[in-house]
Structure 1
Amino acid sequence: MTTLLESDEHKSLREAVSAFARSHPRATGPAESRHFWQEAGKLGYIGVSLPEAYGGGGGGVTELSLVLEEMGAAGNPLLMMIVSPAICGTVIARFGTEEQKQTWLPGIADGTRLMAFGITEPDAGSNSHRITTTARRDAATGDWLLTGRKVFISGVDIADATLIVGRTEDARTGKLKPCLFIVPRDTPGFERRQLDMELHATEKQFELTLDDVRLPADALVGDEDAGLLQLFAGLNPERIMTAAFGIGIGRYALSRALDYARERTVWKTPIGAHQAIAHPLAQAHIDLELSRLMTQKAAHLYDAGDDMGAGEAANMAKYAAGEACVRAVDQAVHTLGGNGLTREFGLATLITAARVARIAPVSREMILNYVSHQTLGLPKSY
């Protein structure tokens, strides 16, 4: 499924990823998901957006979002693609030291290394300004000491390190400012607890505790004074990739529903011939296509270096795709009736998965706040 915005290279990439993803069975467990990840890494799909100098494909978020969408449309969405190459890989590629790039990017690109991302806290979800994980310098050694908690952090158990968002105190103003730190998985004082989730996903969710975690000075990524610039360099790709994740899931659910509607016959007529079945599926397709156009716009703006324009478009794309995904999955299940809730057809597990695209990494309501304030110029209520 291609659009007029795509080049011949993008169309070829989409077709290749689709063929690869469809040649693998749906990953229903961690081992299958890990195998699929490794195979995708060998083919260059995981690192398609990272610099060629560090083993990547030299593309951008445009190519990476295309890859994730096609994987999802084949029934194999990889949640960690939003995290490892899109957020962490992008931030390190843009702001990391040469040593950090050499250490992390080749492994992230070929799928042999994974990195998780820790920003959300129990008392700081959408309001990142309330992050309380603090980083302070040890005057004697120059090391960093991190203390705080994170929650709903994906894939920490399989990640080699976690990119943690902490805050340092500005000596001049006393205000806290965000900074990014690479925390290897086995660092003393860095503890994780798996959360008991009803969400069916191969990637587990964790609460993290950092108790005076000691890190060398070179664990800091980028400039200590860059603040939000570096943070949003990762958050905009996160929104774009979440949109691609949702579109892929929606397309997969819709394809299953269409197959069923063409074959399921009642009173000698396929149920897809009835407008009560056909029209909602057509609407779901339209919604997915429209959200894909906004996702492509956001990706193109980000890759062109337009951070301001990309921020607005990325939020809109994530909103549109999240809504379209939930509606497509719901309509697919409804089309199959009782069969939509059976393990055989594989749609029921998507009901909770689709909600991820609607509530994470930022809720639909916060996106509406962003658009009303930043785009429409309306006053804030908070």
Structure 2
Amino acid sequence: MSFIETDEQKSLRQAVAALASKYPYLDYVLPKARNHEPLRELWDEAGKLGFLGVNLPEEYGGGGAGMYELALVMEELAAQGAGLLLMVVSPAICGTIITRYGTEEQKREWLTKLADGSATMVFGITEPDAGSNSHQITTTARRDGGDWILNGRKVYISGVDQAEAVLIVARTEDHRTGKLKPALFIVPTDAPGFEKTAQEMDIIEPDTQFTLFLDDVRLPATALVGSEDAALMQLFAGLNPERIMGAAMAVGMGRYALDRAVAYARERTVWKTPIGAHQGIAHPLAQAKVEVELAKLMMQKAAVLYDTGDEMGAAEAANMAKYAAGEASIKALDQAVQTHGGAGLTKEVGLASMLAAARIARIAPVSREMVLNFVAQHSLGLPKSY
């Protein structure tokens, strides 16, 4: 792993930053978020420029790069307040799983559209009674002739109103053991028996969360992704990219907050001195900078390990990166609000609303407590606690 990015990666950063600068947080992103309107214009342009699918294979319209480059795109967008949440699920989770395990027909049908952003696929795993325990998922899939019939419920599914399909995690019955085991299905959002209900969240975000109801949703055999006997491994293939992308978004938000705070601290003068000259302001911002950069390094390490095929190393690093980035971004945003004083709580400045959104990083895509459980068990070798 090199700490010096290639010329291509540097150029990609510059190009993404240039795109994001056309969609300012205060003038574009925040008004959209307050109205719960997706960042459609930014998404479409990012897709046309090839940024959304940099990790997908070239033969299907992608950039042929890796998770490092996709995380780079997310970080640079978020660094200007314009992170795209659905990048986490559409090209990162769903695109990765279909690339690895999908049939040639599924790849041709979906990867090209995911790469240019002309179609979006979201991810449905969370259930009200399962929480972080994916082994307790109760959404079931049973065979009916050559078809599959799905029944169940999902919660906190992002962006279903923007998606053509949901990659649903269901469970099939193993007739040899009588046990239920996970399997992945591409479910069109217009399928009969598929219903979505918006969940009212108490945060300001462009993307809406949904509860999904699947009532005897009939799917053809071609809806199954990969093998019904290996879906747990297939499911995990999408979780490391999810954590890496979540970390990249949090790192970008932390950078955005620091940029805003530093600009204000340089200009705001009290008692004839810019407030940034005072250690009470400078030191907390410097500490936040250190912590954001450390989180970024772990995120980059996770992406490199993932791209080189080190699954276990990537899992450890991705969990650590997600934890570190979530904590660092919240601290940076909180200090940015504090630096602005009372102005930091105004609608005009717009930082307080982002602080609430950054709080998601401590909960999703996996809670910090479950990350600590992972590190305790797999990194430290301590007994499993759950």
For normalisation by structure 2, the TM-score amounts to 0.96
Query: Equivalences for 1:76-155 in 2 at 5 Å?
Result: 76-138=82-144, 141-155=145-159
Q: Distance in 1 between matches of 2:247 and 2:383?
A: 27
1:324-359 deviation per Cα after TM superposition (whole angstroms, max 9, x unaligned): 011011111111111111122121111111111111
The amino acid across from 1:102 in the alignment is R
SS at match of 1:151: strand
What corresponds to 1:337 in structure 2? 341
What corresponds to 2:236 in structure 1? 232
What corresponds to 2:207 in structure 1? 203
Query: Cα distance, 1:170 vs. partner?
Result: 1.2
The amino acid across from 1:47 in the alignment is G
Q: Distance in 1 between matches of 2:183 and 2:159?
A: 21
The amino acid across from 2:126 in the alignment is T
Q: Which of these residues, 284, 287, 295, is aligned with residue 288 of structure 2?
A: 284
What corresponds to 1:368 in structure 2? 372
Gaps of 5+ in 2: none
Is residue 36 from structure 1 mapped to residue 35 from structure 2 by the alignment? Answer: no
Bigger mean CA offset, 344-353 vs 37-46: 344-353
Q: Distance in 2 between matches of 1:59 and 1:221?
A: 23
Query: Equivalences for 1:22-33 in 2 at 5 Å?
Result: 22-26=21-25, 27=29, 28-29=31-32, 33=39
What corresponds to 2:317 in structure 1? 313
The amino acid across from 1:327 in the alignment is K
Instruction: Give the superposed CA RMSD.
Output: 1.1
Q: Distance in 2 between matches of 1:315 and 1:175?
A: 29
Q: Which of these residues, 255, 260, 277, is aligned with residue 259 of structure 2?
A: 255
Is residue 71 from structure 1 mapped to residue 85 from structure 2 by the alignment? Answer: no
Is residue 323 from structure 1 mapped to residue 323 from structure 2 by the alignment? Answer: no
What corresponds to 2:172 in structure 1? 168
What corresponds to 2:162 in structure 1? 158
Query: Cα distance, 1:5 vs. partner?
Result: 4.0
Query: Cα distance, 1:291 vs. partner?
Result: 0.4
Q: Distance in 1 between matches of 2:86 and 2:385?
A: 34
SS at match of 2:53: coil
What corresponds to 1:7 in structure 2? 6
Q: Distance in 2 between matches of 1:219 and 1:191?
A: 18
1:18-62 deviation per Cα after TM superposition (whole angstroms, max 9, x unaligned): 111112223231657100000000000001110000000001110
Q: Distance in 2 between matches of 1:4 and 1:237?
A: 20
Gaps of 5+ in 1: none
1:147-202 deviation per Cα after TM superposition (whole angstroms, max 9, x unaligned): 11100000001101000000111121112111110000110111111001111111
SS at match of 1:157: helix
SS at match of 1:231: helix
Task: Point out 4+ residue stretches in structure 1 off by more than 6 angstroms.
Answer: none
Query: Equivalences for 1:55-66 in 2 at 5 Å?
Result: 55-66=61-72
1:87-119 deviation per Cα after TM superposition (whole angstroms, max 9, x unaligned): 011111111001111111111111110111000
Q: Distance in 2 between matches of 1:234 and 1:380?
A: 23
Is residue 189 from structure 1 mapped to residue 189 from structure 2 by the alignment? Answer: no
Q: Distance in 1 between matches of 2:249 and 2:286?
A: 20
Query: Equivalences for 1:342-361 in 2 at 5 Å?
Result: 342-361=346-365
What corresponds to 2:18 in structure 1? 19
Q: Which of these residues, 165, 179, 182, is aligned with residue 183 of structure 2?
A: 179
The amino acid across from 2:128 in the alignment is P
The amino acid across from 1:86 in the alignment is A
Q: Distance in 2 between matches of 1:309 and 1:120?
A: 25
Q: Distance in 2 between matches of 1:245 and 1:179?
A: 28
The amino acid across from 1:23 in the alignment is K
What corresponds to 1:53 in structure 2? 59
Q: Distance in 2 between matches of 1:354 and 1:31?
A: 18
Bigger mean CA offset, 27-36 vs 233-242: 27-36
SS at match of 1:146: strand
Q: Distance in 2 between matches of 1:363 and 1:242?
A: 12
SS at match of 2:210: strand
Q: Distance in 1 between matches of 2:232 and 2:381?
A: 21
**Contact 2:37 / 2:207 at 8 angstroms: preserved in 1?**
no
Corresponding residue pairs, total: 378
**Contact 2:24 / 2:80 at 8 angstroms: preserved in 1?**
no
What corresponds to 2:217 in structure 1? 213
Query: Cα distance, 1:301 vs. partner?
Result: 0.8
Q: Distance in 1 between matches of 2:332 and 2:204?
A: 18
Q: Distance in 1 between matches of 2:147 and 2:308?
A: 36
SS at match of 2:228: coil
- Percent identity reads 68
Q: Which of these residues, 269, 275, 280, is aligned with residue 279 of structure 2?
A: 275
